[in-house]
Amino acid sequence: YYEVTYDANGSRFVLTSPHSADIPVADGGTGASTAGDARTNLGLGTISTQASSSVSITGGSISGITDLAIADGGTGASTAGDARTNLGLVIGTNVQAQDAHLQDLAALSAVSGADTIMVSTGAGTWALESGDTMRTSLGLAIGTNVQAWDAHLDDLAALSAVSAADNIMVSTGAGTWALESGATARTSLGVPATSITMTAGNGLTAGSGGDLSANRTFAVGAGNGITVNTNDVALASSSGGAGLTYTSGVLAVGAGNGITVNANDVALASGSAGNGLTYSSGVLAVGGGNGITANANDVALTDAAASTTNPVDISTGTVSLDVEALTTIEGSALAATDTFYVEDAGVSKGIEVQAMGLRVQTGQTTQNLAAADMNSIMEFTATSTLTLPANATTDLPVGVPVVLNMKHATQELTVTAASGVTLVSVFHPGGGSAASDTIVAGGTAILFKSATDTWCLSGDISD
């Protein structure tokens, strides 16, 4: 190349001698003799060799340019939000926002079986369940929570609603069900709609055949019987027959025969004495010289406490004779020689009233007075206390005596009333509540109950 200089004095350009090297970049050249070396020396990449209609950028960055339109391969925006909007990818509107639960669902394995259902586990995750498992989870287990399908139930469901009353559901014999009225159902059951016709020879006496809409005579032959409920049979007057007669309203059982009935099955009308038995004003009486024999459990007695007019106590299921209430026998006052009959080890014994003494109980010690002590002599041989209980605690009879004997030369017996009980004695003439008296050594006193919670004590006592 030639180097040209400007001669200012001569106002001209001067061409120097030629150079054989490449013009340096600093001198406005490329420092190269080839296009490739020139691009390299000038810092030009491969983009400098690309056609304007086909540019490929593989690195670097572009800034300070107008937003690249979507049509040109850009987003038409300079922010991520605007870019998503321009591309139709708005989160929550066009696309689903990221969610941990959706991640759990995405983690479920693909299911090859049919009818598998996705359910929550209750632990913040999801699981897959089969149809059987899901029915159990929903409380719809077939055969346990809900009725299994059945063709017969389908038949029942197909029956039309019935407006008339008394219709009955019956099987048709063809594997289905139907509704029948009462009349039709009676026919199905073989029950006549109105009456039954019976002919003579089938239990009806000759000449009395026909239906049962009118009165008929029904005869039971020998060796036969009739079982009926209470009030189901009405008898017409008839003379004798197999030990049983019914005349003028009286049903009689002949000798050697008997009647077995249920409780309350026999009603007696008032009548005069006859054969030792009378029934008047609700009282059934056995005349003198007669008696009643019954099998075990054949006689039921109504509970009734003893009274002065009824000394027999049948309360609490036990029959006993209340001597305290007994004042008369056969309408007469008790006499000293009147006799009570008792059973002793299966042997009947008679005891006259004047011979009835008090039982003696020896070796008594400190105790509460009890029912077993009534009408007895209680002997004490050592220092003891006898407590008179409140009636609410121990209900002891009024007027029954108890004799207290202190069989010791020096020791004494204390009689004390419980709380709420009054003791009347020479030391408590007006009655002392919860008071005490002492039976002296070797002494005897009598004790009896005079009222509900009042006791009287008299004898060899001290305060």
For 356-395, the pLDDT digits (tens) are 778 899 999 999 999 999 989 999 999 999 999 999 999 9
Longest Cα–Cα distance of the chain, Å, equals 198
Mean pLDDT of the chain: 74
Residue 236: what pLDDT? 46
| 4-8, 107-111, 419-423, range with greatest mean pLDDT | 419-423
Q: Which residue has the higher pLDDT, 31 or 443?
A: 443
Using only C-alpha atoms, the chain has a radius of gyration, in whole angstroms, of 63
pLDDT at 281 over 50: yes
Question: What's the whole-number mean pLDDT along residues 303-311?
Answer: 55
Residue 49: what pLDDT? 78
The model's pTM is 0.33
The 10s digit of each residue's pLDDT in 184-214 is 877 777 776 665 555 555 555 545 555 555 6
Provide the percentage of residues in the chain whose pLDDT is more than 70: 60
Residue 148: what pLDDT? 86
- Pair 440, 407: CB distance under 8 Å: no
**pLDDT-derived band of residue 237, with 50, 70 and 90 as boundaries?**
very low
Q: Which residue has the higher pLDDT, 424 or 65?
A: 424
Task: Of 37, 57, 38, give the one whose Cα is nearest residue 46.
Answer: 57
Provide the percentage of residues in the chain whose pLDDT is more than 90: 22
Residue 277: what pLDDT? 62
Question: What's the whole-number mean pLDDT along residues 233-257?
Answer: 54
Residue 218 has what DSSP assignment? B
pLDDT at 282 over 70: no
Residue 437: what pLDDT? 96
Residue 194: what pLDDT? 60
CA of 349: how far to CAs of 185, 312, 335, 345, 384, in Å?
Answer: 71, 19, 18, 10, 37
Question: What's the whole-number mean pLDDT along residues 292-318?
Answer: 53
Least confident of 27-36, 137-146, 308-317, 443-452: 308-317
CA distance 103 to 87: 25
The 10s digit of each residue's pLDDT in 99-116 is 877 877 777 766 666 677
Question: What's the whole-number mean pLDDT along residues 331-356?
Answer: 69
Tell me the pairing of strands 2-7 and 436-439: unpaired
CA distance 437 to 414: 6
Q: Which residue has the higher pLDDT, 360 or 328?
A: 360
Residue 273: what pLDDT? 46
Residue 457: what pLDDT? 97
Least confident of 56-60, 383-387, 443-447: 56-60
